[in-house]
Amino acid sequence: MIVDAIGVITKEKVNLLGSGRTDSGVHALGQIANFRSEAELDTYKFKYSLNSILPDDISILKIEKVAESFHSRFDAKRRSYFYLFSYNKSPFYRKYSYHYFPITKLDFSKLNKISKVLSGDHNFTSFSKKNTEVEDKICNISEIRWHKGKELSVVYITSNRFLHGMVRTIVGTILHAAQNNLEENYLIDILEKQDREAAKESVPAKGLFLFKVRY
């Protein structure tokens, strides 16, 4: 849709390059994309023209000119996601959070403690979908942090890269560990097995947001 909207304004067929793909049903607050154009564009007017054409579930927040060598995917240094849990059935949160009341009974200090073992460089084969085409499964997680609020809980995760389905599988597996009073060695063992069957069920896509891409 964005490519079509750009074409309407510039009269060009552009190749739009995103910073990364997300699972179906995942949201994005901070997706980055770039394209090349022969047209002379006023970025301020271009932004508002695009938003006037795009559907209501897509919004362009900022447009700026970058070096011709810039690549939104390959130049990214860090990507951050967050996942939302809601405690109660809500018409406002139902499309954007996982209604999961049991999380209110979990010890968040324990969630944060066991999550730390996933920090650093690891092979995340066990946490990625089997059909992923990526051969290199080494990722560097710099942060996993859980926070409990009054109506929502959130987990933040930042890494240099993510594999297909990785965030949702990590979150689901950590929840399983906390609910069953399992320690850090449980997650270490899953990493070492390098087998998706070793990890637990992924949480639903609707609670996951691509939050920020850093360059």
Give the three-state DSSP class for 213.
strand
Look at the block and give the residue holding tokens 């051969």: 135
- Report yes or no: 206 and 95 within 8 Å, Cβ to Cβ: yes
Q: Widest CA span of the chain, in angstroms?
A: 60
Catalogue the active-site residues: 23
* Spatial distance between the Cα atoms of 65 and 34, rounded to a whole number of angstroms: 9
Residue 29 CA: distances (Å) to CA of 57, 59, 80, 137: 11, 9, 10, 25
